[in-house]
Chains A and B, each alone.
Chain A
């Protein structure tokens, strides 16, 4: 008797399970593997709103900080793999390209205002779309700059930047602050230089050579300019070059937030922290281009680009893919979606985007409106990103803190690229 009851119960349970699956099949469901832990709460809430409005299930999972690749690899191996995931640079495309749906001509894609931040395949397929963009440059404390007797108008190129910076350094004891924050080469800070600052020589080289996809080798033609700005950073900072190894990103941020330095190289994402955690007045904040001495750079804008790119898993079921595309369209066009995107990501390149209060974006847009050329994120082409950057950081440290030669930095840059490209395309 008991056995029969158990059997019946089991059957009922499996039937209900099947029924559950059946219901889901009709509408499809969305599984978004989110990349930014700081935006997790906002995504969860948005997903809930969407489910309430449409009845389509949206699951948002956020990978722990710094483990996105690992999490994605694990999740993609499952039968219910993410339908929407992050694929932000050439290395990501190399690994996950086979999984990316061509997004051209989808209703979502037609909402976009620019194609500039998208990642494309060999035949022009749009494999990942940049759903927001960011800008980086020299964040400037204009109040301190005024105290030193200068205004932003005094800085128009590398020569004028250098003059201002060296003057501040000469009088730093009297002024009570330094020109630059520490250019820390600890892992929490080094990406600002091996990634973002390294974008300057890469961008100009790729511009000259018309490079639009990941090159197998680079020449390092503009590395002298990289040296210019790096030397300026380390010799006019809050700390001695020999201390760079242990200086962290938080330290640099705090130095700037507490008014110990005028310039701080970082990006638009710093806005919230600087204005809330450190209570800085947005009126005293500005972002200027990183000048490094290249001809004509007075006409450059900020470095604008993104690593935040969405890709849709084409190996997911058709219903799920459709549900995902619908969800994406809703996120970038509905009132709830665009409000959340403006709050979390600033301006987004879509028709219905909402205004952002972030002053750094105002600066970024102003430079573009003034007709300056955008320095795009050339570093997105970097092969085997982490390893290449680690090599560059290692060489920068040798050069800055250990009496090493600049030749080693050049080797790390150029030979390292070649070597990592070979490793990635093994």
Chain B
């Protein structure tokens, strides 16, 4: 057989002779991941939905009861409170994190001394786990607040702003990296054209930079939105849901408890509450999915073609 070495061109790659063996081997590459996906994701997901209609201690002794868990989940005042609290937190944190991240990214893409060092430093908090961060920040906050004779768990608002500061500190660096990449991807000629046309810096920012950054903004808003909704570790470690408020009907609301923590606590309350927690989880999934899809559609429509 004669060995010939030819550069593979597009036509050759499309040739049946090349594609057929690859196609034949496809299952080898796809199936392991596919099975992992089924075992690790699809099966638990379907089972989780099934369990939300059951009463159970472990999945092995689940007993079907219908919609009872959903009814109880909706009647649970702490769940509704957690929803509104989470929604409020999400709105505030999306705005603050993205505005600040963009601001820092904008500064660090200007030619200033030590920009690379700053980028690294700002990114670093993202490498620390949520539980650790929660405990460290609770110490910092308590350390500061004691000068004012108070403490982090004294008021709901302290817990709210505390968590916001924590999340900003952790996430701004990450979003900043995405914005920096976006800003660097803006074609020089556009900026130059704007300059020649006599646009001010402010005009360039609003008319050129931001429209061109829409893909980055889409990603960052999506990430901050979903991160806020599924926030758990930081919430657990920083306040654990404290302080509490008694409702007139005698039930208790943990005023800084977000959705994920509320579900977790419900699950471990008693034998009869696991199904309720499961129902809350399904509702939680639907909610996050709807919000994320709606947000993607809204920001996508503003993206421009370069």
Contacts and interface: CB of A to CB of B under 8 A. Distances in A.
Given A245-B151, A246-B142, A419-B252, A98 B241 contact: no
Interface in B242-277: 242-244, 246, 250-252, 254, 265, 268-273, 276
B270 A397 contact: no
Given A398-B243, A424-B270, A77 B58 contact: yes
A426 B150 contact: no
B244 A94 contact: no
B154 interface: yes
B139 A387 contact: no
Nearest to A241: B149
Given A245-B151, A391-B244, A398-B154, A419 B270 contact: no
Contact of B60 (A77, A384, A416, A426): A77
Contacts of A397: 151, 153-154
A394 B244 contact: yes
A94 B271 contact: yes
A425 B270 contact: yes
Contacts of B142: 245-246
A412 B154 contact: no
Nearest to B268: A69
Contacts of B81: none
B57 interface: yes
Contact of A384 (B58, B152, B270): B270
A243 B139 CA distance: 12
Contacts of A96: 57, 271
B60 A243 contact: no
Contacts of A419: 246, 250-252
A95 B240 CA distance: 23
A387 B251 CA distance: 12
B243 A394 contact: yes
Contacts of B72: 426
A132 B30 CA distance: 54
Interface residues of A, number: 43
A411 interface: yes
A77 B146 contact: no
Contacts of B241: 390
Contact of B252 (A243, A393, A416): A416
A98 B271 CA distance: 10
Contacts of B143: 246
Contact of A387 (B146, B153, B154, B265): B265
B111 interface: no
Interface in A372-426: 383-384, 386-387, 390-391, 393-395, 397-398, 401-402, 411-412, 415-416, 418-420, 422-426
Given A187-B240, A415-B246, A95 B270 contact: yes
A242 B57 contact: no
Nearest to B272: A426
Interface of A: 69-70, 73, 76-77, 81, 91, 94-99, 187, 242-243, 245-246, 383-384, 386-387, 390-391, 393-395, 397-398, 401-402, 411-412, 415-416, 418-420, 422-426
Interface of B: 57-61, 72, 139, 142-143, 146, 149-154, 240-244, 246, 250-252, 254, 265, 268-273, 276
23 contacts: A73-B268, A77-B59, A95-B57, A98-B57, A98-B61, A243-B146, A246-B142, A246-B143, A246-B146, A390-B240, A390-B244, A390-B254, A391-B252, A394-B244, A397-B153, A401-B150, A402-B149, A402-B154, A415-B250, A416-B252, A422-B251, A424-B272, A425-B270
